[in-house]
Structure 1
Amino acid sequence: MNMTKIPQGDELLTVELTVKELIALTGVRFNDNNSLKVSAHKKLNSALEQTMNKEGSHESAFYL
């Protein structure tokens, strides 16, 4: 069994999303407007990058 180790994996992360962005992440489409989902993903990715960079970690810190 492979175990993925993620630095700061148990740290809590707070991200502000609008209700519409949150609903868009569940797969609901708003008049075929994909910008809500894209916006929410950008916010999530940005928050993750900030968290990982806080301790000097980066993407290569993930390993199996």
Structure 2
Amino acid sequence: MVSEIYLTRLLATKGTLQKFVDDLFETLFSTVCRGTALPLAIKYMFDFLDEQADRHGIYDMDVRHTWKSNW
């Protein structure tokens, strides 16, 4: 019985936060106001992933693409 109460609360919280999370990602990745350029924070993160791949000797472009797709 207790786990059902927590599950209900968890689902309610998820429903409340989902719109804010969706809006955040829309703001970060939307290029409507900026043309086609990504925000500098996103570019920095992708550059950081490339640097880490170089540092660890990962030169497979599929791996690098997967890192950038699944962050």
**TM-score interval (norm. to shorter):** 0.3 to 0.5
Bigger Cα Rg: 2
TM-score, length of structure 1 as denominator length: 0.37
Larger relative contact order (Cα-Cα within 8 Å, sequence gap ≥ 6): 1
TM-score, length of structure 2 as denominator length: 0.35
